[in-house]
Structure 1
Amino acid sequence: MPTILTFGDSNTHGTQPMHSRPSDLPRFERRWPVVMGEALGWDVIEEGLPGRTFASPDPEMGPHMDGRIGLFIALESHGPIDAMTIMLGTNDLKAHFEAAPEEIAQSCAFHLDVALSEEMQMRHGGFEPFLILPPRPHAAGCLAEFYAGSEDKAQATLDAMRAEAEARDVAVFDANTVISVSDVDGVHFSEDVHDTLGKAVADFIRSEIVED
């Protein structure tokens, strides 16, 4: 049975839309990686960390939010894998990072380059990385302060990320084509959205494998 690693942030972890901070709500049981795995009939390794960025330590949540650290740990502690998804970029749009779309895309490119590197490919006997463009966040609810201005640069960020993936011949799935974030906090997914995304990602991966 093939194995897929899902590398991401709170929306891969299954965090519920937050009405207040901090939230004591448990994560969803049927989060999108679980739904995807069921649809594909594959084993899933979930590596979703709330607060994770592509490449920025968080002044409040800690230095381990820098996704570059977690990426190496995930790829060197699990395996062998046959595929992986990377869905990050939402937290990079937080106002306090002041990151330009091009900077976020360059950090995305680093992750893709690590996944495609000879070292990592040999470690796992070859695997296919897929980039998932996350739904555009917006300032709302208890997270409004953190995501002030995110709408203004979200699409430019996604476009730049796509360009980096396409330059490396990495297949891209735009989650915005099938889902959107909750208006409760402007960032997280409702449970039905997890179901929709999981099935859509499964269809996308299945189609990419058939094409290959």
Structure 2
Amino acid sequence: MKRTIVCFGDSNTWGYDAETDQRFNDEIRWTGLLQSELYNTYRVIEEGLPGRTSVSEDPLFEGLAGISYLYPCLMSHAPLHLVVIMLGTNDTKERFALTSYNIAQGIVRLAHKARGSGAGPAGKAPEVLVIAPPPIGAAYIHTPIGKPMGSNCSEKSIEISQHLGNFFRGTDIHFMDASEDVSMNEIDYMHLDREGHRNMADLVKYHVKRILE
């Protein structure tokens, strides 16, 4: 039986290419690389949505709060062996008025919801891996994305990984800090480029092997 992994995230899981304003193809996206390198014993399911938040309802766009979609998403793909959650970048938007600690709290809520979903084999708990995304570069504010994002996004994004690490220490939820080995592009400073997707795939593959094998 194949082991099934759901990757639940935002535009950096969807594969947004800031250079073309399109989507990277399967061979470039970290999820596609992960699938190809795990071969036929795994099934990697992309559940990336540009603009997705952890728990905040966006007043400008509908359907972006991860908390309301997570359970039906996981159950539709069940049985699952691993849920990978990488969110937080969009939660830094000024219009949500969240601190970095609040953002981490929302991600923790998602992780526990996934763990308690019963979407694992035989209705058991799936393993959950939370990834702290790379921080937003400070220069984002000077790009076209600066105005819709608002101020202080890069500062908040830097702090998320530390809060998440503290929250998950000693728990049964796995944690990976991508900020040390993966960086955002130098176009809008908040999306992965080709190298970022390659590095992300390598890191996630390591943790998949550690958790499931």
Q: Is the shorter-chain TM-score for this pair beyond 0.5, marking a shared fold?
A: yes
In structure 2, relative to structure 1, the CA distance for the partners of 1:88 and 1:118 (3 Å cut) is closer
Tell me how far 1:36 sits from its aligned partner: 1.2
Gaps of 5+ in 2: none
Q: Which moved more, 1:165-174 or 1:5-14?
A: 165-174
Deviation at 1:134, TM superposition (A): 0.3
Mapping for residues 152-163 of structure 1, pairs under 5 Å? 152-163=155-166
Question: Alpha-carbon deviation of 1:124?
Answer: 4.4
Q: Is residue 55–residue 68 contact of structure 1 (8 Å, CA) maintained in 2?
A: yes
Q: 1:157–1:200: structure 2 CA closer, same or farther, 3 Å change rule? A: closer
> Among residues 31, 37, 47, which one is paired with 2:29 in the alignment?
31
- 154-163 vs 7-16, greater mean Cα deviation: 154-163
Alignment partners' CA distance in 2, 1:118 and 1:200 = 25
How does 1:9-20 map onto structure 2 within 5 Å? Answer: 9-17=10-18
2:86 paired residue number: 87
Deviation at 1:169, TM superposition (A): 2.6
Deviation (angstroms), 1:109: 1.5
Correspondence for 2:127: 128
RMSD of equivalent CA atoms: 2.0
Residue type of the alignment partner of 1:90: T
Pair 1:57 & 2:54 matched: no
Q: Does the alignment pair 1:201 with 2:199?
A: no
One-letter code of the match for 1:100? Answer: T
- The Cα of 1:201 is off from its aligned counterpart by 0.9
Judge conservation of contact 2:9–2:86 (CA < 8 Å) in 1: yes
Q: Show the counterpart of 2:176.
A: 173
Question: Post-superposition shift, 1:129?
Answer: 0.6
CA distance in 2, matches of 1:84, 1:7: 7
Deviation at 1:81, TM superposition (A): 1.1
Closer/same/farther in 2, CA of residues 3 and 168 from structure 1, 3 Å limit: same
TM-score scaled by length of structure 2: 0.88
Instruction: In structure 2, give the amino acid aligned to 1:134.
Output: P
In the TM superposition, residue 72 of structure 1 has moved relative to its aligned partner by: 1.3
Aligned length, in residue pairs? 205
Change (3 A) 1:4 1:118: closer
TM normalised by structure 1 equals 0.88
Give the distance between the partners of 2:93 and 2:122, measured in 1 at CA. Answer: 34
Q: Residue in 2 aligned with 1:106?
A: 105
Distance between the aligned counterparts of 1:18 and 1:143, measured in 2?
13
Q: What is the distance in 2 between the residues matched to 1:89 and 1:97?
A: 12
Query: 2:44 aligns to what?
Result: 44
In structure 2, how many angstroms separate the alpha carbons of the residues matched to 1:121 and 1:102?
29
Which SS does the other structure have where 1:6 is aligned?
Answer: strand
Deviation at 1:148?
2.4
Cα gap change, 1:95/1:28 in structure 2, threshold over 3 Å: closer, same or farther? farther
Flag the structure with more relative contact order, 1 or 2, with Cα contacts below 8 A and sequence separation at least 6: 1
The SS at the match of 2:144 is helix
Q: Is structure 2 residue 188 aligned with structure 1 residue 185?
A: yes
